[in-house]
A = this chain, B = another copy of it.
Amino acid sequence: MFETIQALADSTRFEILQMVRHNEMSAGEIAGHFKGITRPAVSQHLGILKKSGLLTQRREGTRRIYSIRPEGFAELRTFLEDFWDPRLIKLKAAAEKSQKKLRRKK
């Protein structure tokens, strides 16, 4: 899970995900969109994204096609939903309300 977050937290990898978000792309196509960064570097990023579960890869001849792995994003969403339970917001709001009341009575 934390691995997934770390995979997201790099601007190049973030861009890659934006790129393949709708249409799957080959490693070469992806690398072609980056200027000022070499192909091997992109390849390494693809490896990290794959390992983290945010991308999947399939082979097509000599090319490797990368596409979004929805499950990876779903897991992350679920984690965030569970992390900060909205029910706690209500409890906190109630607590603050009663505190204000007490202060006013002083």
Contact = CB atoms under 8 A, between A and B. Distances in A.
Copies per assembly: 2
A102 interface: no
Most buried by B among A22, A68, A76, A80: A80
Interface stretch (A8-16, A25-33, A35-43): A8-16
A88 B17 CA distance: 15
Interface string A27-62: 000000000000000000000000000000000000
Interface residues of A, number: 22
A70 B68 CA distance: 28
Interface of A: 2, 5-6, 8-9, 11, 14, 17, 21-22, 68, 70, 73, 76-77, 80-81, 83-84, 86, 88-89
